[in-house]
Structure 1
């Protein structure tokens, strides 16, 4: 039997060249979905280009609490922002979250504003949802996200940040990070499943920039994802995008994105998932 495979490119709308790279993969139907950050200076143009191009791929929402500035006025979400009105970086955000210094009412206000902004830009509710830097798998943030989405029907596909033990042991790169994400992700995945949100059983692709240089990067993942269940490929492709420097990443991050883009377009990617018995599907089809 073939196993369902969703291939979801994160960070559409983050920067112009990043968005163009993702849109190219969508037009080629190499990816089956993408998610848009709506609070960047480039989101509106990216949304318009997606609408004009109309690829046969799902575009959803990428909730974000760690990049650029909020959709809400900064004075309305003071625990989420620095003095200049921009979000805290991830490390600071998680530190404040662990100390109880992040106000959940403000998190709700901002995520609801972003959810509404997505609908303003695209004209429909998101059928795919996963968060930038996985922030919504952490305690209390997940509950806020489910509250924002509670009235949406049909339920959107939500990424389940759960990695199969086989790949965690056998695929190198960022193992500590992946283990921590999976420990938080399992709890959220169980809750999402219990209240009817579709999603894949496993995730693959989380790593660090150095390991994306390997030509066998995707081949190795498909060899070690485990013998059963559906799989989501979490990827971050794009053309070289100088607007990301000092906003999202350093030089190695730019290299990683262009490298992932090339690896996804290479015939070896399709060969690897075909030989492993996977069939690509759009995330919105997973509800069936």
Structure 2
């Protein structure tokens, strides 16, 4: 039976968001969360994850966009790293310093291990920046060395899956952006999810989108989501975080998964 991983991204985006994610993990509505360890509240928030169910996977959400880095670097302006589009342009043009990227990512791994006492169960990237040129090989090398049993997120999927879910244009774009990632991971002895979904318009339609994310699922099917309190200033998807949390509180994810032939361990 194919397996569903329903992952809440952005743990530690704010303490209020962390509280909502922890609530949903304890309630069996999620079975994974991905943590932003560069956030100043991470160390304190991480205590919320120490008594979650044993089936919950806790991963590292490597962050190189829209947050203050742990270490100063040449692509930060006014103390904040750029959005994904400017970062992508820098990466494609070879204008990122690999040593700066490696130092920042090593520090984010350090903070995860210091708080959790173990390596992450999986590794992904905020806005999927971990799959960019220059950044990708560094992520693979650090993960291979520091978390060899972890799996990594890829947005790659079968064409039928990409075409059969919401926001197919964004899904196809993310898959293109990640092309070759699973093969590169396998080449260094790492593994990735098989099947990926979660793109939609952050438009209050999560209840309609979620069942479609489970259609045409892969063998290790990863669905990203972003539930939270939506109270941090400047959060572009604040309303969507609240909507997703409310939807998840009021459905049975395991029943939804089972109806599509997916196992969901929560």
2:9–2:224: 8 Å Cα contact kept in structure 1? yes
Q: In the alignment, does 2:207 pair up with 1:215?
A: yes
* 1:267 alignment partner, SS class: coil
Q: How does 1:57-136 map to 2 (within 5 A)?
A: 57-72=56-71, 74=72, 77-78=73-74, 80-82=75-77, 84-136=78-130
Structure with the larger helix share: 1
1:219–1:268: 8 Å Cα contact kept in structure 2? no
Quickly say closer, same or farther: Cα 1:128–1:18, change in 2 above 3 A: same
For residues 79-138 of structure 1, the C-alpha deviation after alignment (integer angstroms, 9 at most, x for no partner) is: x311x2221222221222222221111111111111111111221111111111000111
State the TM-score, normalizing by the size of structure 1. 0.85
Deviates more, 1:196-205 or 1:264-273: 264-273
Q: Distance in 2 between the 1:165 and 1:265 partners? A: 31
State the TM-score, normalizing by the size of structure 2. 0.91
2:7–2:222: 8 Å Cα contact kept in structure 1? yes
Q: In the alignment, does 2:169 pair up with 1:166?
A: no
1:163–1:182: 8 Å Cα contact kept in structure 2? yes
Q: Distance in 1 between the 2:87 and 2:147 partners? A: 31
> Shift in Å at residue 153 of structure 1?
5.2
Cross-structure match for 1:254 = 238
Q: Distance in 1 between the 2:41 and 2:118 partners? A: 19
2:193–2:220: 8 Å Cα contact kept in structure 1? yes
Q: How does 1:236-275 map to 2 (within 5 A)?
A: 236-240=226-230, 242-243=231-232, 245-246=233-234, 249-250=235-236, 253-267=237-251, 269-275=253-259
Q: Distance in 2 between the 1:207 and 1:5 partners? A: 18
Q: Distance in 2 between the 1:278 and 1:95 partners? A: 38
Q: Distance in 2 between the 1:231 and 1:146 partners? A: 21
Q: Distance in 2 between the 1:48 and 1:108 partners? A: 27
1:204–1:225: 8 Å Cα contact kept in structure 2? no
Cross-structure match for 1:286 = none
Quickly say closer, same or farther: Cα 1:35–1:221, change in 2 above 3 A: closer
Quickly say closer, same or farther: Cα 1:176–1:153, change in 2 above 3 A: closer
RMSD: 2.0
> Shift in Å at residue 65 of structure 1?
0.4
* 1:232 alignment partner, SS class: strand
2:195–2:222: 8 Å Cα contact kept in structure 1? yes
Quickly say closer, same or farther: Cα 1:178–1:153, change in 2 above 3 A: closer
Identify unmatched segments of 5+ residues in structure 1: 283-288
1:161–1:189: 8 Å Cα contact kept in structure 2? no
Quickly say closer, same or farther: Cα 1:58–1:171, change in 2 above 3 A: closer
1:218–1:272: 8 Å Cα contact kept in structure 2? no
Q: In the alignment, does 2:49 pair up with 1:50?
A: yes
Identify unmatched segments of 5+ residues in structure 2: none
Q: Distance in 1 between the 2:261 and 2:175 partners? A: 24
191, 207, 210: which one pairs with 1:198? 191
